[in-house]
Amino acid sequence: IITWNVGSAVPPDDITSLFGPNVSDGNIDMFIILQEVNSMINKRLKDVLFSDQWSELCMDTLSPFGYVLVASQRMQGVLLLVFSKFCHLPFLRGVQTQSTRTGLGGYWGNKGGVSARMTMFGHPVCFLNCHLPAHMRNLEQRMEDFESILQQQQFEGGAATGVLDHVVFWFGDLNFRIEDYDIHVVKCAIDSNKLPLLWERDQLNMAKNTESILEGFMEGQLKFPPTYKFDVGTHTYDTAKKRKPAWTDRILWRLRRTGSPVPTHNAALQTQHAYRSHMSFTISDHKPVSALFSLHFPFRVDMPLVELQVNKEWCKASDATVRFTVASTYQRSSWDWVAIYKVGFRHHKDYQAYVWAKAEHATQQVTFSEEDLPRDDCEYILGYYSHNMNSIVGLS
C-alpha cells in the first residue's frame, strides 16, 4: 500500500522504486495506491478529458510486470487505484467503490474518503483512503469526519455492507499532528533519532487510547522521520511557514469486528513486513509512505465462475473458437463478453478484440471473426468479462 500527497506536482519520470526493490519478480500480489492530487476545477476537467497523468504513470509502470487495474475511484483531489496480478482477477469479486465528501460541509471533495471493496478469494477486504482536515487545532473535526465516512460508506449485496464488516486498510493524509512540543524540540528529536519521544505526543497514537471509533485499528511503529512538511525540491523541513513536522501520512489496518454479520470462520491473520517512507522523492511537500502486508486466510475460494477452453496456438482463423463452462451459481448476462488481451494489458477494457457471449445462446462457445484477430505474433490471454459483476470472472 502506498500513500502520497503530491499536491499539484507533475509526476516524476520514474516511480518504480515506490513499489519495492523487486517489483519485477512478481512476488507481490496486489498494489494499492493513493494519491492526493490537485483538486482545482480546471485541472479536474483536463483529467476527465484525457485521463489523469498519475493513473497513466502507475499503469505504465505496473502493467509490464503483469499487474492489471482492478478498481479506481477519484473524488476531486483524492485518487485510489487497486492493481492485482492478472492471474488473481477471477477471484476478486464484488468490486465496488464509494466516495464521501467532507470538505466545505460535505459539498467539496478536497477532503473526505474514497474506498474500494471486494471479496478476495472469498474474504471481504476494504481499502479506505481518507484526506482529513488539516491543522493542529482540528483533531476533533478529523475524528468526526472519519466517523461520518464510516457511517456513510455502505456497499450493496452480501453480508459485508459496512466498512468495518471487512478486513480494513485505512490510509492517506490523515493530518494528525504532534502536540505540546515546539518546533525546536521536534526537529532536535528528529535530528538525534529520538522518534519515540514524538510518538507519545502524536495525536493519532493518543486518540487510539480514547476514541472508540479507532478501536481495533493497528499501525506499525513509526521508525521513519515525519513525512510533512518539506520545502519542495529538498529534504529540508518547511523554512517558509515554519510548520512543525508531523506524521500526517499513515497506513493502518483492522481485522474484522466481532459480532460482524460475516461468519467468523472467515477470520484473517495479518502480518506487516515493512512500513517506511521514501525520502528520495522531492516533488511534493509530503514524502510517500508505503507498507507491505500479507493476509493469511483459513480457506480460499479458488474455483473460477467461468472456465475457458482454447487451443494453445492459433495458426488459422478456425482456431479462434473459445469454449467455456459456467459454474451453476453464475448468472450470465447478454452483455457478457469474451476478449483477447495482449499479455501485459492495463485494465479490463484494454482488449485487442471482443465478442459477445450472449446468454440466450445455448452453445457455450464463441468464435472470433478473422478480421478481429490481432496480427502480431506474440502472447495473448483470453478473458470472460461479467457485465453483472463488472469484472473478469474467467481467464485462459
Per-chain mean pLDDT for the chain: 90
Do the beta carbons of residue 261 and residue 281 sit within 8 Å? no
The total of structural domains in the chain comes to 2
Q: Verify that 284 and 386 share a domain, yes or no.
A: no
pLDDT reading at 315 higher than 90: no
CA atoms within 13 Å, Cβ hemisphere of 34: 31
Question: Which tops the pLDDT comparison, 76 or 283?
Answer: 283
CB atoms within 10 A of CB 300: 11
C-beta of residue 255 within 8 angstroms of C-beta of residue 165: no
User: Could you say which of 296, 330, 365 is where a domain stops?
Assistant: 296
Quote the domain boundaries for residue 364: 306-395
Does 317 map to a domain?
Answer: yes
- Which residues, 6 or more positions from 76, have their beta carbon under 8 angstroms from its beta carbon? 39, 44, 101, 108, 109, 110
> Rounded distance, CA 198 to CA 249, Å?
15
Q: What is the CATH number of the domain that holds 250?
A: 3.60.10.10
Question: pLDDT tens digits, residue range 30-66?
Answer: 999 998 886 654 454 444 434 588 999 999 999 999 9
Domain presence at residue 331 = yes
pLDDT at 50: 40
Q: What is the pLDDT of residue 267?
A: 59
Task: Tell me, yes or no, whether 317 and 281 share the same domain.
Answer: no
Mean pLDDT of 241-253: 96
CA-closest candidate to residue 168, choices 213, 204, 135: 213
pLDDT tens digit string along 193-228?
999 999 999 999 999 999 999 999 999 999 999 999
Whether 273 and 388 map to the same domain: the answer is no
279 falls within a domain? yes
At which of 258, 276, 296 does a domain end?
Answer: 296
User: Please, which residues have CB within 8 angstroms of residue 116's CB and are 6 or more apart in sequence?
Assistant: 32, 70, 71, 72, 73, 80, 82, 95, 96, 97, 126, 127
- Whether 201 is covered by a domain: the verdict is yes
pLDDT digits (tens, 9 = 90+) for 121-178: 999 999 999 999 999 999 999 999 999 999 999 999 778 899 999 999 999 999 999 9
Check whether residue 329 and residue 229 sit in a common domain: no
Q: Is the pLDDT of residue 88 over 60?
A: yes
pLDDT of 44 reads 46
Q: Let me know whether 233 and 323 are in one domain.
A: no
Residue 233's region, left for phi above 0, alpha for psi from -120 to 50, else beta, is left
Whether pLDDT at 265 is above 50: no
What pLDDT band is residue 294 in, cutting at 50, 70 and 90? very high
Choose among 324, 315, 302, 330: nearest CA to 382. Answer: 324
- Yes or no: say if 160 and 154 are a contact pair by the CB < 8 Å rule: no
The answer to whether residues 273 and 192 belong to one domain is yes
How do 123-131 and 167-173 pair as beta strands? parallel
Q: Has residue 301 been placed in a domain?
A: no
Cα–Cα dist 123/85, whole Å: 17
Does one domain contain both 39 and 148? Answer: yes
Statement to judge: residues 289 and 335 lie in one domain: no
103 pLDDT above the threshold of 80: no
User: Is 355 a member of any domain?
Assistant: yes
Q: Are 100 and 112 in contact (CB under 8 A)?
A: yes
- For residues 371 and 353, what is the distance between their CA atoms, to the nearest angstrom? 10
Do 65 and 150 belong to one domain?
yes
- What number of other Cβ atoms are within 10 A of residue 396's Cβ? 18
The CATH number of whichever domain residue 317 belongs to comes to 2.60.40.2840
What is the rounded distance in angstroms from the CA atom of residue 70 to the CA atom of residue 32?
10
| Structural domain includes residue 125 | yes
Same domain, 332 and 284: no
Does one domain contain both 292 and 310?
no
* Predicted pLDDT at 217: 95
Among 276, 296, 316, the domain-final residue is 296
The pLDDT, as a whole number, for residue 348 is 96
Is 71 inside any structural domain? yes
Whether residues 280 and 390 fall in one domain: no
Nearest-angstrom CA–CA distance, 42 and 101:
19
